[in-house]
Structure 1
Amino acid sequence: MATDPQMRSPETYGEIDPRIEALVHDLIAQVADKWTMILIEVLHDHGEQRFTRIAEKVPGISQKMLTQTLRQMERNGLVVRTIHPVVPPKVEYRLTDLGVSLGEAFCGVWTWAEDHLETVETARRGFDGRATA
């Protein structure tokens, strides 16, 4: 596994609680699903939002995918869904503290991308040049 002392591995630190391992795998799968991090960003930047307002701020997301992603985020405790007792019903979504902290944790990916953009692009050009040769 990794040699970086900040990265955990069973070889370095002993057994990892299988529940923690499962949670990490589940959350990585969810945030890597294309939409979750975008929704976290929208809710972070714009605060509590109605479903239709979220959909307007996320081009390309279908109503079905937005519903599924928000439900999964709610299940994981990342968002709170509030139903206001009016006619027609008004439903709003907001990030929980847990959702905010997950967004902050993944900000490191943006920082890494900014720091390594040129290196990655150079590597891609080199690979693509060899692949077409």
Structure 2
Amino acid sequence: MNRGSKKNKESLTDQQYQVTQNKGTEPPFSGKYLDNHKNGTYLCICCGSGLFSSEHKYDSGTGWPSFWQAPEAGNIETQRDKNYVLSDGSSDALEVICSQCKSHLGHVFEDGPKPSGLRYCINSAALDFKEIK
């Protein structure tokens, strides 16, 4: 498991483990948080760090939960992912990882809405959700 992870392999589903530890991607339109419209915070499934607010989630039409901002300062990092091939054939994608446990979350692209212009495309399998009532 990644450094800082509070969950072990046995506590994650096969898909959660594949996505977070092996940089996998869940099939589009299959994630449990794609159509979640509740108010709350999305957390890292491995360590529980706060990652994204529901206030910044939007429907990008891509099949994965998408956020235009990552408000939890310092809880995510990005790094070049040379193994991810973009639709234009380039391999210059930015991988999004949890800064606390280094688990893979998804990728960020520069085709999102204003004001950031960013689209954080995140796997539901990498997330947990804490509803705010």
Q: Tell me which protein shows more helix as a share of its residues.
A: 1
TM-score, normalising length from structure 2?
0.31
TM-score, normalising length from structure 1?
0.31
Q: Which has the higher contact order (CA 8 A, sep 6+)?
A: 2
Q: Tell me which protein shows more strand as a share of its residues.
A: 2
* Higher Rg of the two aligned structures: 1
